[in-house]
Amino acid sequence: MWNFVAFCVPVGVVLLMMLLSSVSFLERAAQRVSTAKISLGSVAIRFVSLVLILVGCAFAFETHKLVRMNHYRAEHREEMSVEQEDRWKAELWRHHRNWWMALFNFVLWTVIWRVPQLISYYRAELDRLRRSA
């Protein structure tokens, strides 16, 4: 799962840069990718929506894992040896890192999900204003 999440960051950053580039052919290409539909059986879902769901699941999993780890520490604080506490801190650090990566991915793909709609609206308004002027 984390290989997929790590792969989503560079793809998302490049896609967002293309969407926000103000270069029309790059914007159109990125809009085609972000609005492309993938068929899963009888259900058709946008590519960006699928990635957003998967990244959201990773974020929810890491949030749940961090809550469980903090509850475990609160219950077993006095029983932990120094080595166990060091291992717990290392695992906690790793899960915090993964949580921030998942949050970044979730925000990034939410922006990518919304920006093509805003660009389309903006371009339609510009066309409307040019025709009326």
In eight-state DSSP terms, residue 7 is H
Residue 1: the pLDDT is 65
φ/ψ bin of 41: left (φ > 0), alpha (ψ from -120 to 50), beta (otherwise): left
Q: How many CB atoms lie within 10 A of CB 24?
A: 9
Strands 43-46 and 37-40: antiparallel
Q: pTM for the full model?
A: 0.83
- Pairwise CA distance, residues 106 & 9, whole Å: 10
- Pairwise CA distance, residues 19 & 118, whole Å: 10
Entry field: residues in the chain? 133
Structure tokens at 92: 């906690």
Residues in the chain with pLDDT values less than 70:
1-2
Give the chain's mean pLDDT.
89
Q: Look at residue 22 and give its three-state secondary structure.
A: coil
